[in-house]
């Protein structure tokens, strides 16, 4: 079993705390590796290394930065099978999704590497002769990246790739549930040629390492993906120091099914949307809003398909749903299932912890469907597990009203055969992402990703917007008239 240190200035070093923690397979409890519990002092060392390296890295030609990211993507492609298995073993998503996590990381690094030859600014004419105006995108400096456990390679690559291509140096804190994937990713970046000190990783608890990153005065920006509560806390503390903060938080994502939809397609979509990654995606379909004319037909088909899902070892390609990520996750999800029962929701299927061999050493919950009424806690609060609330509505207007009546606004979906209804939904649904005749999950890296309301603070990852989180705009005024010219002053 490998014992990892903290990665600072291109070297693995021991933490000052002397404490360690283990990362374990949520399917069988097997320990995969041992990691250091970092301290505030360790974060300070990482910041020092990043600060020393920043002046050189910001001057490193952006196309050359892109070549390093492309090399990292190529290494990941060569190791895709191995890395996919690692994701599955450490996080618990089924092997097809584990490989998908790796592929998404590859896709984004390949995509964002191209920004090294763009980083486009603007040019605009002056009101004065022989004068030109333009803008430049420049790196912020040392940035902190704090990432979740549910996409242990893809989400770090979204943040790290965008921060690196724009010339920033990084202090990286991965989730404590999935540090092995993060450590392997850091090794890959440095194998690809990333200079020492550009990317530094400190593992450990959020209340120590995450807090130190947020509070350090020389970290100029923080990018965070996680819970709403944690995001609000980070935003409040970092904004007092005028730091740039990018937040991607929770979701309570609706899939609407109109009576002119293809029911078979809608059922396929919701199955993947709610039970993919055992429901542990910020974009997971947690609410199914169905027009009353097709409610019974859809629910009958959905129930039959759900009962046929195989739950088990996520490395088995025949398994549809793996374990949830931890004992804490399991406890939270089972608590919400009990809340649903106590609220009077109809438990249509599932809702149990699986026990006995081969489940007794892992965290397995049967796929769960509730017939619910809008306003119940299970229809409003993020559960982050394989739990679906199904609600009946009269028409499009009621469907949209129910869909929007939550504090989140990340992803949304509508199934309909009407182009008019589809285009109305694109405008009406309060979400950063809307799918037409597709589930609420499945974003691709070349479109911006993020949400509205309590899902975030306006930042967007991926796509053409990715670099904005990690760049400052400089306006440049060039006067080649050979004389003093005074804008806005009439003489």
Residue 216 pLDDT level (bands cut at 50, 70, 90): very high
Helix (H, G, I), strand (E, B) or coil at 7: strand
Q: What is the pLDDT of residues 168-178, one digit of tens each?
A: 999 999 999 99
* Ordered strands of the 433-436 beta sheet: 346-349, 368-371, 387-393, 285-291, 253-257, 411-415, 433-436
Q: Mean pLDDT, to the nearest integer, of 347-371?
A: 96
Structure tokens, 222: 């923080």
**Of 134, 283, 138, 119, residue with least CA distance to 221:** 138
- Per-residue pLDDT at 488: 87
Tell me the residue ranges of DSSP E strands in 109-183: 123-125, 131-139, 142-146, 169-173
Q: How many CB atoms lie within 10 A of CB 346?
A: 12
CB burial class (10 A; 0-12, 13-18, 19+) of residue 199?
A: buried
Residues 6 or more apart in contact with residue 464 via CB below 8 angstroms: 446, 448
Q: Is the peptide bond before 358 cis (omega within 30 degrees of 0)?
A: yes
- Per-residue pLDDT at 489: 84
Output the pTM of the full model: 0.96
Q: Mean pLDDT, to the nearest integer, of 284-295?
A: 98
The residue with greater pLDDT, 293 or 16, is 293
The pLDDT of residue 240 is above 90: yes
**Strand 253-257 relative to strand 368-371: parallel, antiparallel, unpaired?**
unpaired
Active site residues: 248, 282
Domains of the chain and CATH, by start = 2-249+456-476 (3.40.605.10), 253-436 (3.40.309.10)
């Amino acid at each position: 079993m490998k014992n990892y240190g903290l990665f600072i200035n291109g070297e693995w070093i021991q933490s000052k705390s002397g404490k360690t923690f283990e990362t374990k397979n949520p399917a069988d409890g097997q320990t995969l590796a041992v990691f250091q519990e970092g301290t505030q002092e360790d974060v300070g060392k990482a910041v020092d290394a990043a600060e020393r390296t920043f002046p050189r890295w910001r001057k490193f030609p952006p196309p050359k930065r892109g070549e390093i990211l492309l090399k990292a993507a190529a290494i990941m492609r060569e190791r895709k099978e191995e890395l996919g298995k690692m994701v599955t073993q450490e996080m618990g998503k089924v092997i097809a999704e584990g490989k998908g996590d790796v592929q998404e990381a590859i896709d984004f690094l390949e995509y964002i590497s191209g920004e090294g030859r763009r980083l486009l600014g603007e040019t605009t004419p002056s009101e004065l002769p022989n004068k030109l105006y333009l803008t430049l995108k420049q790196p912020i400096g040392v940035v902190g990246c704090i990432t979740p456990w549910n996409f242990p390679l893809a989400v770090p690559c979204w943040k790290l790739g965008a921060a690196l291509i724009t010339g920033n140096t990084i202090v990286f804190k991965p989730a404590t549930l999935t540090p092995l994937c993060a450590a392997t990713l850091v090794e890959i970046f440095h194998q690809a040629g990333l200079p020492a000190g550009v990317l530094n990783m400190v593992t450990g608890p959020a209340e120590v390492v995450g807090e130190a990153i947020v509070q350090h005065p020389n970290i100029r920006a923080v990018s965070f993906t996680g819970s709403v509560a944690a995001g609000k806390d980070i935003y409040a503390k970092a904004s007092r120091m005028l730091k740039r903060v990018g937040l991607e938080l929770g979701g309570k994502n609706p899939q609407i099914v109109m009576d002119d939809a293809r029911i078979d397609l809608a059922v396929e979509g919701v199955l993947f949307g709610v039970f993919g990654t055992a429901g542990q995606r910020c974009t997971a379909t947690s609410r199914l809003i169905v027009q009353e004319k097709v409610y019974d037909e859809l629910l009958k088909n959905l129930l039959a398909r759900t009962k046929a899902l195989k739950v088990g070892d996520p490395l088995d390609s025949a398994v549809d749903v793996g374990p949830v990520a931890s004992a804490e996750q399991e406890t939270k999800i089972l608590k919400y299932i009990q809340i649903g029962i106590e609220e009077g929701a109809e438990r249509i299927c599932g809702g149990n912890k699986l026990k006995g061999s081969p489940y007794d050493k892992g965290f397995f919950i049967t796929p769960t469907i509730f017939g619910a009424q809008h306003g119940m806690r299970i229809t409003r609060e993020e559960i982050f597990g394989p739990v679906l609330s199904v609600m009946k509505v009269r028409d499009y207007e009621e469907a949209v009203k129910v869909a929007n009546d939550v504090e989140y606004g990340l992803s949304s979906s509508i199934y309909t055969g009407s182009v008019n209804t589809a285009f109305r939904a694109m405008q009406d649904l309060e979400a950063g992402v809307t799918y037409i005749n597709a589930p609420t999950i499945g974003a691709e890296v070349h479109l911006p990703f993020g949400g509205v309301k309590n899902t975030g603070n306006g930042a967007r990852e991926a796509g053409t917007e990715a670099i904005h989180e990690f760049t400052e705009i400089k306006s440049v005024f060039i006067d080649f008239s050979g004389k003093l010219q005074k804008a806005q002053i009439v003489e």
